[in-house]
Structure 1
Amino acid sequence: MIAPALVILLMIIGWSAAAFAMLWGMLRIARYHHKPSQQAPHDRQVRAIGAKNGINLSLSA
C-alpha cells in the first residue's frame, strides 16, 4: 500500500502541475489577444515633422 505522506505529496504535485498548465494557457491567450501599443506610429509622426522642419529631436530618457 502507498504511504499517506506519498499520496499527499503526489496530490500536491498534481495540483501544482494543473495550476501551472492553466496559468501558462491563460498567459498564452492573453499574449495572443494583446493589441500593440499606439506609441510607435506617434513616434514616427514626431520624427517626420521634426525632419521636415529641420529639427533634431531625441526622445530617449
Structure 2
Amino acid sequence: MLTKEKVKELVDHMPDTFSVDDLVERVILLQKIEAAEQEIENGEGIDWEDIKQEMNQWLK
C-alpha cells in the first residue's frame, strides 16, 4: 500500500510544473510497483527461468 511519504517523494522528484495526468500515471505506476514487490515478498512471483522458457515457446 502507498504511504503519504512515498507519494510526497514522488511529487518532490517531479518538475516544477506538470499535468494532473502525469501525476496520476506516476502514482499508478508506483502503486503497481508496490503491489509487485509485495507479491514477491509473499512468494507469489513467477520464477525468471519459467518466464524465459515460456517466452522461448512463444518465439518458436
TM-score using structure 1 length: 0.41
- Structure label with greater radius of gyration: 1
TM-score using structure 2 length: 0.42
